[in-house]
Amino acid sequence: MITVNPSNIDSVSESQAALWACSAEKDHDQWTTIIEPHKPWYKLDLPGLWHYRDLILMFVKRDFVALYKQTILGPLWFFLTPLFTTLVLTIVFGTIARIPTDGIPPFLFYLSGTVCWAYFAGCLLETSNTFVANSHIFGKVFFPRLAIPVGAVISNGLKFAIQFGLFLCFLAYFWWKGASVGLTLWVLALPFVVLQMALLSLGCGILVSSMTTRYRDLAHVVAFGVQLWMYATPVVYPLSQIPEQYRNWYALNPMVAVVETFRLGFIGSSAIEFRQVIISAVVTLGLLVWGLVLFSRVERTFMDTV
Amino acid sequence: MSTAIKIENLWKQYRLGVIGHQYLVRDVQSWWARVRGKEDPNLIVDQVSSGNGSESNIWALRDLSLEIEKGEALGIIGKNGAGKSTLLKIFSQVTAPTRGSIKIKGRVASLLEVGTGFHPELTGRENVLLNGAILGMSVSDIKKKFDEIVDFSGIEKFIDTPVKRYSSGMYVRLAFAVAAHLDSEILILDEVLSVGDMAFQQRCLDRMQEVAADGRTILFVSHGMGAIRKFCRRVILLQEGRVVEDGPADEAVDRYMDQVYEELGEVCEADTLDDVDRLVSMLAPDPVFRLVSFSIVQDGVPTLSVINGRPLEARIEYEVLQETAGLFVCLGIFASDGSLIFESLHNSESSELPVVQPGRYISTATIPAEWLAPATYGMGVSAAIYGVRACMDAVIKCRLHVAATGRVNQAYPRRRIQGQISPYVPWVTESIVPTVSKGKVREQPHTVNLEDDGAGLMAICQIALRDKEGEPTRVFDLDEEICVSMDYVVRQSISQSMIVLTVSRGGVHFLSTHDTDLNPDLLVLREKGEYVSTVRLPGRLLTPGTYTLTVSAVVGATGEHFHRSYRFVLNFTIRQDLGNDLFKNYNPVRGTLMLTEWKWQTLRRVSPAPTVAVTARVK
């Protein structure tokens, strides 16, 4: 019987794994799958994810179809939720608290913030639950675990597209009524803004979901953390309300640049600067990489701890 | 043949109890200690010193190495916790090994469960696509096979209904249909597949056989030894994470059965005579009584598959080690659900408490022909000292399969025999002289008159219980013959009519049908007229108690179209006392039927000389 000192299991197995990995290299063409204890953190299984693209599409379809089954209003909810939220925000922050909106019609201002924020928050909440909510599937069958959060990000993206269409309608309406709104060249940044939101929510979501397998507390933190985060983001107030000297620090919250760039492009009024957009992008990428690394480490063994 | 799977030095460790310290603070402490190169303050002390002997870690797999040829069907067996599921989980990449590696050639489809990822709100069609995608098929593949899958599941009608409206059977059928059409070189099956009803299991097994015939590699985990023996030529037996046996199915299964019997001898029902012997050898030694063997013999051949048309013998060989008063051997027959149908004790007819001398004996109980129904029974043997204790730590039970060959129900071959036993009961049916007017009331409390509405081909008018002298009564003595007579009128000549009599108590029924002894080819034509059928239940058939008598009449050409059916209930009682000393020694009496026809025979063995010492258990 071989006895092993658990305190150095990791080092032993890593070196052994490395050895085996070497020997496996030789007849690599022969074996189609090699299951080993560890894989290097940088080795993300993106080809595998591509191979399972049909599955991701099925997840997207499932989320979409199942969401409003057996509801009366059905897909109307896609419109109702942002409309009511915006209405409430307009009344509370615009009419009662009288927070300035940089001269933008308050309804349009809040709608732009809500549509962006709803996408980010929806993605984050859904992806942060990946491991715990799907443990019954993960425990039974293998597929790239990333398929589920990616699927969630895409299905929320579709939802965003619908709500974005709603926003465009109101934008056109206000423009026709003669409000001081107008597109700027920043409109061209829309794909990047959406991509950044997607990657950011994916990064944060999988980061949280990886940690939730060990610390269930995080599930509670996320629920109200997202609400607090909204107030740290210029959703209900414009960036211009933040004192000039703090704005670079403020931009460390990547959603700041996202929301403000969106407003700059479509409504044509924002205090955002290019420097802050760069800061935001760097933070987003950092969170995404951290999330992916942690995720790929946890997905190997989370079934033992969840 | 080439190797399809190569497992090299596979280890898997699980941490028990508190996982990952659970507290962020401690994790940070551990991490900080590692950064500074110091000892982890959160390690349990003996973990540092004594290696994997610590309680918080278990190795589910220990240094497992295995090579599996292409096209081989490998069975994996072992007790719970032996590491079977862990191995399959690593195979399916659900969890990673702690050390070692598995190399696989070809696509793997693993079915640890059917219906993984089914969404209740989605329709059957959508779920087939989703489930297929989860199992690794591409959408175009699934669409190509879609019709085949739906055909196999047999639920075409409901394919566009949300699966939450499915019955659980439909759900499983659809789920299995998807799984059965996976394309892969290697198929991994867990025992979860063996849930569901018998038909479903059979389907799973049939499909597996097809797959195996295709030359695909199969890894099969199961507790069902029948399936393992059937499908796997090679079987590995796991114990505490190691392979302890790797070889032909029979050897590995036998060794596994040894392990199981060692632990749970008392719950096991033996399926073969060898298993019976093994169970017998597992019994704990007793200072007074030692069971040597137990076998069931029909026509001189020991067997567990008998026919009901011939008598069978239960042979119990045992050794009595010291003179004992009141030692008895007991034979019981159990229904397939485990309930006792009846039991019989040897020496029970003796007028005083029997005293058994030391020596070796064979007791044989004969169960007469045409007693058991064509069904599966459990036959158990036990021994006890009357009023003192049981002499065996477990009832030795074996499964007895009875096939129908006797006269019972010969005339109505398509009617399934109901009841747990089906003894041959002689019936007498006489035509009544037509002077007795129709519906004449005989006012006696022991008879029941049935209202005749004048409709139907046939009507029962009266049922009466009588004793041997023809006196109406509802209370009988143990030895007394019970005579049941039924008056009925046939309004037009009918080709097949049946009167079925059931006697029951406490869930045990037995049944008799009139004309059963007639040749099945002869259609019994009953002329228009009035009849009385009489059946005599012999004395000493039923144990003391109150019974329910049910009579029903069925008229029909094929037995499928009942034109008329009566149900009628009458209670009667068998008295326990009244000078009957039959059960004086053994009280209370369990079981419904008293089978005094069973011939117990106890011979004293002259040689070999009785061994006094209790022999050690043979492993």
Is 70 exceeded by the pLDDT of residue B147? yes
pLDDT at B193 over 80: no
User: How high is the mean pLDDT of chain B?
Assistant: 75
Q: What pLDDT score was predicted for residue A86?
A: 93
Q: Which two tokens stand for residue A257?
A: 């640049």
Q: What residues of chain B lie within 8 A of the CB of A7, using their CB?
A: 40, 43, 47-48
| Max mean pLDDT range (A167-171, B88-92, B170-174, B336-340) | A167-171
Between residues 61 and 120 of chain A, which touch chain B (CB distance below 8 Å)?
61-62, 65-66, 69-70
β-bridge mates for residue B108, sequence order: B186
CB contact under 8 A, B98 and A37: yes
**Which among A60-74, B16-30, B600-614 has the top mean pLDDT?**
A60-74
d(CA A78, CA A73): 10
Residues from chain A contacting residue B133 (CB–CB below 8 Å):
52, 54-55, 58
Inter-chain touch A141–B48, beta carbons under 8 Å: no
Beta strands in B190-339 (DSSP E): 217-221, 234-239, 242-248, 269-270, 289-298, 301-302, 305-307, 312-320, 324-325, 327-334
Task: Give residue B480's pLDDT.
Answer: 80
Q: What is the pLDDT of residue B85?
A: 82
Q: Please report which helix (H) or strand (E) contains residue B212, including its range.
A: helix B198-213
The band of B618, judged by pLDDT with boundaries at 50, 70 and 90, is: very low
Our count of domains for chain A comes to 1
The answer to whether position A132 is within a domain reads yes
Confidence of residue A28 (pLDDT cuts 50, 70, 90): very low
Residue A54 placed within a domain: yes
Smallest CA-to-CA distance from B312 within B326, B331, B322, B299 is with B299
- Residue B252 pLDDT class (50, 70, 90 cuts): confident
Place B185 in a pLDDT band, splitting at 50, 70 and 90: confident
Chain A residue numbers with beta carbons less than 8 Å from the beta carbon of B22 are 214-215
Q: Do B531 and B487 form a contact (C-beta atoms < 8 A)?
A: yes
CA distance B86 to chain A (A): 10
Per-residue pLDDT band at B260 (split at 50, 70, 90): low
Question: What pLDDT is recorded for position B519?
Answer: 56
* Mean pLDDT confidence for B362-367: 90
Closest chain A residue to B87 measured between Cα atoms? A35
Reply yes or no on whether the pLDDT at B396 is more than 90.
no
Q: Is the pLDDT of residue B579 over 70?
A: no
- Better-predicted residue by pLDDT, B452 or B271: B271
User: Would you state the pLDDT for residue B409?
Assistant: 67
Does residue A38 lie in a domain region? Answer: no
Mean predicted confidence (pLDDT) in B219-243: 82
What would the mean pLDDT of B330-351 be, rounded to a whole number?
Answer: 82
- Whole-number pLDDT of residue B615: 46
A7 is a domain residue? no
pTM of the model as a whole: 0.58
pLDDT of B27 strictly over 80:
no
Span B424-451, pLDDT tens digits: 787 777 654 333 232 323 333 455 666 5
pLDDT, tens digit, 9 for 90 and up, residues B404-421: 776 666 777 666 667 778
Work out the pLDDT band at B211, boundaries 50, 70, 90.
Answer: confident
In-domain check, residue A12: no
Chain A CA closest to residue B98:
A37
C-alpha closest to that of B509 among B595, B596, B410, B423: B423
Confidence band, pLDDT 50/70/90 cuts, at residue B271:
confident
CB-side exposure of B306: number of CA atoms within 13 Å? 31
pLDDT tens digits for range B41-96: 655 444 433 344 445 677 888 888 889 888 888 888 887 778 888 888 888 888 88
Residue span of the structural domain in which A205 resides:
43-305
What average pLDDT does range B95-108 have in this prediction?
86
Q: Does any domain span residue A199?
A: yes
- Bridge pairing between strands B508-513 and B497-505: antiparallel
Work out the percent of chain B whose per-residue pLDDT is above 90: 1
List of domains in chain B? 108-259 (3.40.50.300), 270-405+595-604 (2.70.50.60), 427-574 (2.70.50.60)
Question: What is the per-residue pLDDT across B485-498, written as a single tens digit (0 to 9) for each?
Answer: 888 777 777 766 77
Sheet architecture: strand order including B427-431: B427-431, B529-537, B482-490, B458-466, B447-449
Q: Is B266 a residue whose pLDDT tops 50?
A: no
Helix (H, G, I), strand (E, B) or coil at B569: strand
Residue A255 lies in a domain: yes
The answer to the question of residue A8 being in a domain is: no
Of B48, B106, B122, the CB nearest to A7: B48
pLDDT at residue A12 in the model: 37
